[in-house]
Amino acid sequence: YELNRVSFQYVEGSARDVDAVMELVNASGFSDKIRQAGEGDMKLVMSVLEKRLSSRDGIETLMFSLDEAEDAVYGGKDVEYIITSQTFQERHRRRVQRLFQVAENKGVKTRVLPPNSPHIGRVAQFGGLICLLRIT
């Protein structure tokens, strides 16, 4: 699978008990590490998107409407990733929230991009939502 990858970031500190974990999570820099790992994941997703857009077979694995994404997830298609802009999510809050909940329960990766994301422009070009089916 193209998107079946993991991102790792090293965080220095001890996590031997709940208090130590809480201290580590609240430490400055922890959020940045999480953000960096997520950004690496989004770069991969966006490169896969561009690759699929350039081929006939690839474009058939992409959906750009909420109705299509809902049909795919609720209909049992093999969805791999759903990306939406924060603006799109706010406009369709209940439907997106339900879609993401069902999708995540099925093991689908989901992501809401904030307005300052470097990838927001490309996602906005497709209406604010992109759903990628798994290629087997």
Q: What is the CATH number of the domain that holds 96?
A: 3.30.1330.30
**Which residue pairs from 100-105 have beta carbons closer than 8 angstroms and sit at least 24 positions apart in sequence?**
102/73, 102/74, 103/73, 103/79
Query: What pTM was computed for the model?
Result: 0.75
Domain for residue 110, yes or no? yes
Instruction: Give the least confident one: 16-25, 30-39, 80-89, 111-120.
Output: 30-39
- The structure tokens 């490309």 sit at 122
- More confident site: 3 or 82: 82
Domains held by the chain: number = 1
Q: State which residues form the domain around 60.
A: 18-133
Domain for residue 9, yes or no? no
Q: Quick check: 134 pLDDT over 80? A: yes
Fill in the DSSP letter of residue 134. P
Domain for residue 122, yes or no? yes
Domain for residue 32, yes or no? yes
As a dihedral over the C-alpha atoms of residue 93, residue 94, residue 95, residue 99, rounded to 10 degrees, the angle is 100
Domain for residue 8, yes or no? no
13-56 per-position pLDDT tens digit: 777 888 887 887 777 666 666 665 556 678 888 988 999 999 99
Domain for residue 4, yes or no? no
Domain for residue 1, yes or no? no
Instruction: Please tell me whether residue 63 adopts helix, strand or coil conformation.
Output: strand
